[in-house]
Copies of this chain bind each other. A is one copy, B any other.
Amino acid sequence: MHSFTEENYLKAIYKLQETNGEVVATSALAQVMGVHAPSVTDMLKRMAGKKLVTYQKSKGFKLTEKGKQVAVGIIRNHRLWEVFLVDKLGYKWDEVHDLAEQLEHIHSEDLTNKLDKFLGFPKADPHGDPIPDANGVLPKSKAVLLSSLKVGEQGTFTGVTDHTPAFLNYLDKAGISLGNTLKVKAIEEFDQTYTIQLNDKKGAVISHKVANSLLVNK
Contacts and interface: CB of A to CB of B under 8 A. Distances in A.
A121 to B, nearest CB: 14
A149 to B, nearest CB: 38
Q: In the assembly, how many copies of this chain are there?
A: 2
A99 B111 contact: yes
A108 interface: yes
A164 to B, nearest CB: 19
A170 interface: no
A118 interface: yes
B114 A90 contact: yes
Interface string A53-92: 0000000000000000000000000000000010011110
A115 interface: yes
B102 A89 contact: no
Contacts of A89: 111, 114-115, 118
A99 B91 contact: no
Contacts of A118: 88-89
A106 B115 contact: no
A107 B114 contact: no
A103 interface: yes
The bracket for how many chain A residues form the interface is: 10 to 19
Contact of A106 (B88, B90, B102): B102
Contacts of A90: 114
Interface string A118-131: 10000000000000
B108 A99 contact: yes
Nearest to A103: B106
Nearest to A106: B102
Contacts of A102: 106-108
A106 B99 contact: yes
Contacts of A107: 102
Contacts of A88: 118
Interface string A200-216: 00000000000000000
Q: Which 5 A-B pairs have the closest CB atoms?
A: A89-B114, A102-B106, A89-B118, A99-B108, A99-B111
15 contacts: A85-B111, A88-B118, A89-B111, A89-B114, A89-B115, A89-B118, A90-B114, A91-B114, A99-B106, A99-B108, A99-B111, A102-B106, A102-B107, A102-B108, A103-B106
